[in-house]
Amino acid sequence: MDSDSVFGNVVRAPEDPILGVTVAYNKDTSPNKLNLGVGAYRTEEGKPLVLNVVRRAEQMLVNDLSRVKEYLPIVGLAEFNKLSAKLILGAESPAIQEKRVTTVQCLSGTGSLRVGGEFLSRHYHQLTIFIPSPTWGNHPKVFTLAGLSVKTYRYYDPATRGLDFHGLLEDLGAATEGSIVLLHACAHNPTGVDPTPDQWEQIRQLIRSKALLPFFDSAYQGFASGSLDADAQSVRMFVADGGECLIAQSYAKNMGLYGERVGALSIVCKTADVASRVESQLKLVIRPMYSNPPIHGASIVATILKDRDMYNEWTIELKAMADRIITMRQQLFDALSARGTPGDWSHIIKQIGMFTFTGLNSKQVAFMTKDYHIYMTSDGRISMAGLSSKTVPHLADAIHAAVARFG
């Protein structure tokens, strides 16, 4: 009997909806099963990919016998932090040159968001953060546990399967002055819908006029369009106006370093003095949380970013991943067109990044899982990276049947 346990009253928690998809997929014995739930890149053969440039960097690190396993400082590897800020803000960024940016190494994107959230809840005067509806499922949990109050702003329009730009402006326009606003830098998760450069400019003007504080989540730089600079434009626009902002960066997707947990939090401040005081307080957030970050993944990133040849090799491999996903979008769109599947499916090629918000409802998704062994989250989000030329026809057949059956 577990009633003897001091934990006997602990209730079983529900499974994480995204990770739960993988659990169900693993139990399925069908040879045709397909997992489109997981947010990780797969090759055309359906295998995880370690970039050649990452293997090369690791080999160099392993062969360098002068390297030791000592603790990093609380803020992490200095070289990694410097190179990460340059990657997102641009090599010539005045904010970096004026020493107005503090960057700390964190545990991938999630850890960067959490550290940023905890810093804000201790030191910022406005404890409300607006996140887009919908957004990544972990965002509300991370910010709530960091001590912020989470509200949403309209983002996605199911009718057009595009951006609800009017709703977005209206909701942010009505936000209390000084509120924090979470923005996906590019490749919005889960919808794959991004504002245009003109729309970003209008968002920037509104945010600055209301003195709202932008917090960017940059999980897909270079992975969305294939260009590191293009995918950083939204962030750079906000830094160029001299205003303040926070940026969480992850190297999970763009360097394939998922399990290494490599990320950075940058806070762009008005002056170098403020930036240095902010950094001193970030240390006080990090120290009791995990003392200091791990060394290996950050060393891989720094090795690649500081060497021109390796950096160029990385950009080629990164573009190849982005291009494969763009190709899968086109193939799926073509396959649905060829089948004459009812409805407009052009959003599949208009959306960007790892995910497509198909517009399929939970009934259709359940039908596709049961009859076609295709696994995805119940909101109809599919990971394009999980598709291949071989599996596109099977998915198109399933979507066609689901639309025919449930309209």
Of 253, 314, 345, 397, the active-site residue reads 253
Mean pLDDT of 209-218: 98
Mean pLDDT of 100-111: 98
10 CB-contact burial (10 Å; exposed 0-12 / middle 13-18 / buried 19+)? exposed
Of 171, 217, 231, 397, the active-site residue reads 217
For 20-60, the three-class secondary structure string (H helix, E strand, C coil) is: HHHHHHHHCCCCCCEECCCCCCCCCCCCCCCCHHHHHHHHH
Residue with the two structure tokens 């991938």: 108
**pLDDT for position 20:** 83
* Alpha-carbon distances, residue 385 vs 64, 76, 122, 321, 392 (angstroms): 35, 31, 38, 9, 11
**pLDDT for position 17:** 80
Are the C-beta atoms of 400 and 339 separated by less than 8 Å? yes
Task: Give the tens place of pLDDT for each residue, 8-31.
Answer: 999 999 888 877 888 899 999 999
Maximum C-alpha span of the chain: 65
136 has catalytic annotation: yes
**pLDDT for position 277:** 98
Of 276, 279, 215, 274, nearest in space to 249 by CA: 215
At 381, list the tokens: 């989000």
Mean pLDDT of 28-50: 93
Residue 128 clears pLDDT 70, i.e. is over it: yes
Of 136, 171, 345, 397, the active-site residue reads 136
Mean pLDDT of 90-106: 98
Are the C-beta atoms of 143 and 331 separated by less than 8 Å? no
* Alpha-carbon distances, residue 184 vs 71, 109, 120, 345, 389 (angstroms): 32, 12, 18, 24, 29
**pLDDT for position 2:** 61
Of residues 43 and 39, more confidently modeled: 43
Residue 274 clears pLDDT 70, i.e. is over it: yes
- Report the C-alpha gap between 323 and 351 in whole angstroms: 14
Is pTM beyond 0.75? Reply is yes
Q: Half-sphere exposure of residue 308, counting CA atoms within 13 Å on the CB side?
A: 0
- Report the C-alpha gap between 336 and 352 in whole angstroms: 18
- What is the Cα 42 distance to its own chain's centre? 16
Task: Give the tens place of pLDDT for each residue, 137-174.
Answer: 999 999 999 999 999 999 999 999 999 999 999 999 99
At 81, list the tokens: 């932090």
Q: What is the mean pLDDT of the chain?
A: 96
